[in-house]
Amino acid sequence: MISENRLDDKSKDKPKLHVQTATATSSNINIINLDDEEKNKEIKIVGLFREKGLLIKPSIIGELKEKSQEEILEIIGKLKDLHREELVFIDEIELKEVTQEIKLPSFADISRPSDFKPLAKEFGHDFKIYKERDVTGKSKCGGNIEDFVKNVNDRFQKLKDILESRPSNNKKAKAERAKKLVGETVRVIGMVMRKNETKKGHISLEIEDETGTLFILVLKDDKEAFEKAKKIIKDDVIAIDIKVGTNFCMAKDVTWPDMPVKNKRTIEKDLSIGFISDMHIGSKYFCDKEFERMLKWLNGVGPHKEIAEKIGYILIAGDLVDGVGNYPKQEYDLAIKDVFEQYKLVQELFKMVPDHIKIILIPGNHDAVRLSEPQPAISKEMLGDIPNFVSIGNPGFANIEGFETILYHGVSLGSMSSNIPGLTPAKPEEAVVELLKRRNLAPIYDECDIAPEHSDYHYIDKCDMINTGHMHKNGYTEYRGTVVVASGCWQWLTEYQVKQGHVATPCLMPVYNLKEGRITHLDFKNEDIKLLG
Ligand SMILES: [Fe+2]
């Protein structure tokens, strides 16, 4: 409680508040004045805020009266950081923004029920990390033009090789030679430099290969080619069938590298993989109780333990912690302001995961590694010595029980949604399918922070399963035999995310059974842990 002598005297001359309260008896209602001590407290609080140009809504005075003068001055300081203007009206929302309780998990001892029989333990682990696809410890780029050229050429060459293997009735030609084949229909493979809409509503493209550039028009009347061309994005590597004219070339068809068609893989072992991403540990908005519930469930506590018993792996697609300085005024959203302390909490939490579960994890844009992709693995200094942790770079490539697996945090998914018609952040799995079609995890170079390594680490070679995070929204689909899992988040929406228009599905954990080839989502928001299919 605030005490009179903890408030200074500066507010004594301020106008008096006329605060009244009502008491009811069985027979009548009396309006009485509050006692002087209470009144004085309120007057002083109002005065302290007013001195700094802050007006407060009467309904928040009660909450402020519970705080010490020191706490009130701290709140005023934070509010002034948020509002530099002279006069601001502070309501419940403004107050919550600077005073939200720090939430830290209370670690409960986990005692496994005697009937918990983890079948996954019997199978052991059969997995391999593709170290040659991991940038950790071997970043070569200095960010100069030469690095950029090597990176782009490597990307072009890999995707061109795939496109050249695709059958076509048209003869293939390089850009410069194609210009001379007037009247013929030829296939050119190139990287898209520019895409525009003409005044008449057609699409114009400029593509480039090793020999030069080519201007191509996609007429809106050619419905099939036009619909495909709408999905072309900058830096796409495509095969384009064109009718060569005297002044310009006209597109007839567009082909992306795409994934080969195959059946979905299954295995004999009755094993499952659990997926987690975007916990943002250290944030006030971290779903601590729900996460702890999930960790207990992995130990057989709660309903549906038959699903938990089969989990042999957990994949984490980045953003383990909230980090510091990732967005404006993030400090007000942090329960833990030191990134080392954030990772200490990660360690404490993951110690609760049973030993028979292997945890393969990559960083995201909030983790303590460089922001540019490919990102190196989160270091041991941060993660400690947890024996079942396997920390790899982003993107990360592994073979898990025969499944060619990609872990990618997913920063490029936002740019896919904003550049390809029909995609939305609410369906991240559809954006991932567009990445698979392009055989590249970050197709638009300037819209992702990409370090120009000499080899293109974003190249998709083979893939039976891909796990992404970043969008904080769960999603699942299958595409040409590849399983796509967007693993949601463990963070309630922050004020910043609300302002950005984010959609989130916190506390839903996808679990994929490798034998049945089936996904199940478990909702940890409540004790009953619902199954959502
Ligand atoms: Fe995130």
CB distance 278 to 469 below 8 Å: yes
> Ligand 1 centre from 376 Cα, in Å?
17
Of 505 and 495, the one with more pLDDT: 505
User: 460 C-alpha to center of ligand 1: Å?
Assistant: 23
pTM score: 0.82
Is the pLDDT confidence value at 281 over 50? yes
Q: Separation of 263 CA from ligand 1 center, angstroms?
A: 32
CA distance 253 to 197: 18
Residues 106-112: what's their mean pLDDT? 68
What integer pLDDT is reported at residue 87 of this predicted model? 67
pLDDT at 27: 40
Residue 389 carries which side chain, given as an amino acid letter? F
Q: Is pLDDT above 70 for 168? A: yes
- Distance, CA 490 to ligand 1 centroid (Å)? 9
- 8 A C-beta contact, residue 493 and residue 279: no
Three-state DSSP state, 311: strand
Q: How far is the CA of 158 from the centre of ligand 1 (A)?
A: 30
DSSP string, 255-305: E---PPP-PPP--SS--EEEEE----BTBTTB-HHHHHHHHHHHTT-SS-H
Is it the case that residue 80 has pLDDT exceeding 90?
no
Cα separation of 331 and 124, whole Å? 42
Residue-wise pLDDT for 29-39, tens only, equals 444 455 778 88
Between the CA of 470 and the centroid of ligand 1 the distance, in Å, is 4
Question: β-strands 213-218, 203-208: how paired?
Answer: antiparallel
Cα-to-centroid distance, 91 and ligand 1 (Å): 29
Residue 302 and residue 316: Cα distance in Å, rounded? 22
User: Does residue 490 register a pLDDT over 60?
Assistant: yes
Ligand 1 centroid to residue 409 C-alpha, Å:
9
Q: How far is the CA of 149 from the centre of ligand 1 (A)?
A: 31
What pLDDT shows up at residue 92? 74
Residue 110 has pLDDT above 80, yes or no: no
Q: Helices 428-438 & 412-419, crossing angle to 10 degrees?
A: 90
Q: What confidence category does residue 76 fall into, taking pLDDT thresholds of 50, 70 and 90?
A: confident
Q: What is the distance in A from the centroid of ligand 1 to the CA of 329?
A: 16
Q: What is the distance in A from the centroid of ligand 1 to the CA of 318?
A: 7
Q: At 326, list the tokens.
A: 């990732």
Rounded Cα distance, 514 and 128, in Å: 17
Q: Determine the Cα–Cα distance for residues 118 and 272; give it in Å rounded to an integer.
A: 11
User: What's the pLDDT score for residue 105?
Assistant: 54
pLDDT digits (tens, 9 = 90+) for 458-473: 999 999 999 999 999 9
Ligand 1 centroid vs 13 CA: distance in angstroms?
49
% of the chain with per-residue pLDDT over 70: 90
Indicate if the alpha-carbon torsion angle 79, 83, 85, 89 is positive or negative: negative
Cα angle vertex 326, ends 429, 279, to 5°? 50
Ligand 1 centroid–CA 156 distance in Å is: 30
Closest to 445 (Cα-Cα) out of 135, 236, 215, 160? 236
For the cut 60, the answer to whether the pLDDT of residue 53 exceeds it is yes
Whether residue 310 contacts residue 271, with contact meaning beta carbons closer than 8 Å, is answered with yes
Q: Give phi and psi for 289, each to the nearest 5.
A: -65, -40
State in Å: Cα 472 to ligand 1 middle: 6
What is the pLDDT at residue 15? 34
pLDDT of residue 118: 94
Which residues fall within 8 angstroms of residue 217, CB to CB, at 6 or more apart? 198, 202, 203, 204, 205, 248, 249, 250, 251
Average pLDDT over residues 421-444: 97
In tens, the pLDDT along 381-418 reads 999 988 999 999 999 999 999 999 999 999 999 999 99
Among candidate residues 529, 387, 403, the one with its CA nearest the CA of residue 464:
403
Q: Quick one: tokens of 288?
A: 């601590």
Contacts of 282 (CB under 8 A, 6+ apart): 321, 322, 323, 334, 335, 336, 337, 339, 341, 342, 345
Average pLDDT over residues 327-333: 85
Q: How confident is the model at residue 2 (pLDDT cuts 50, 70, 90)?
A: very low
427 backbone dihedrals φ, ψ, rounded to 5°: -130, 70
- What is the Å distance from ligand 1's center to 53 Cα? 36
Q: Report which of residues 28 and 74 the model is more confident about.
A: 74
CA 6, chain centre distance (Å): 45
Model confidence pLDDT, tens digit, residues 194-225: 999 999 999 999 999 999 999 999 999 999 99
> Minimum mean pLDDT among 124-138, 257-271, 318-332: which range?
318-332
- The answer on pLDDT for 495 being more than 80 is no
Q: Cα–Cα distances in Å, from 127 out to 195, 379, 390?
A: 42, 21, 11
**Ligand 1 center from residue 279 Cα (angstroms):** 7
**How sure is the predictor about 8, in pLDDT bands with cuts at 50, 70 and 90?**
very low
What span, in angstroms and rounded, lies between the C-alpha atoms of 158 and 294? 41
Distance 348 CA to ligand 1 centre (A): 20
Query: How many angstroms does the Cα of residue 501 sit away from the middle of ligand 1?
Result: 14
Q: Do 463 and 259 contact (CB within 8 A), yes or no?
A: yes
Tell how far the Cα of 411 is from the centroid of ligand 1, in angstroms: 9
d(CA 62, CA 486): 43
Report the percentage of the chain scoring pLDDT > 90: 71
311 CA to centre of ligand 1 in angstroms: 24
- Length of the chain, please? 533
Ligand 1 centroid–CA 445 distance in Å is: 21
DSSP string, 96-158: HHHHPPP--PPPPPP---TT---THHHH---EEE-GGG--TT-----SSHHHHHHHHHHHHHH
Write out pLDDT tens, residues 300-317: 999 999 999 999 999 999
Cα 277 to Cα 318: distance, rounded to the nearest angstrom = 6
Cβ contacts of residue 463 below 8 Å, gap of 6+? 259, 404, 405, 406, 436, 482
**How far away, in angstroms, is 366 Cα from ligand 1 center?**
7
Rounded CA gap, 367 and 277, in Å? Answer: 12
C-alpha to C-alpha distance for 46 and 33, rounded to whole angstroms: 18
Q: Give tens-digit pLDDT for 250-261.
A: 999 999 999 999
Ligand 1 centroid to Cα of residue 172, in Å, is 44
CA distance 257 to 239: 8
Residue 143 pLDDT: 79
Averaged pLDDT of the chain: 89
**C-alpha of residue 471 to centroid of ligand 1, in Å:** 7
pLDDT number for residue 106? 56
What confidence tier does 49 reach under pLDDT thresholds 50, 70, 90?
confident
Q: Ligand 1 centroid to 461 CA: how many Å?
A: 26
Q: Is the peptide bond before 328 cis (omega within 30 degrees of 0)?
A: no
The reply to whether omega before 452 is within 30° of 0 (cis) is: no
Instruction: Identify the H or E element spanning 162.
Output: helix 145-164
Dihedral of the CA atoms 381, 386, 389, 390 (nearest 10)?
Answer: 50
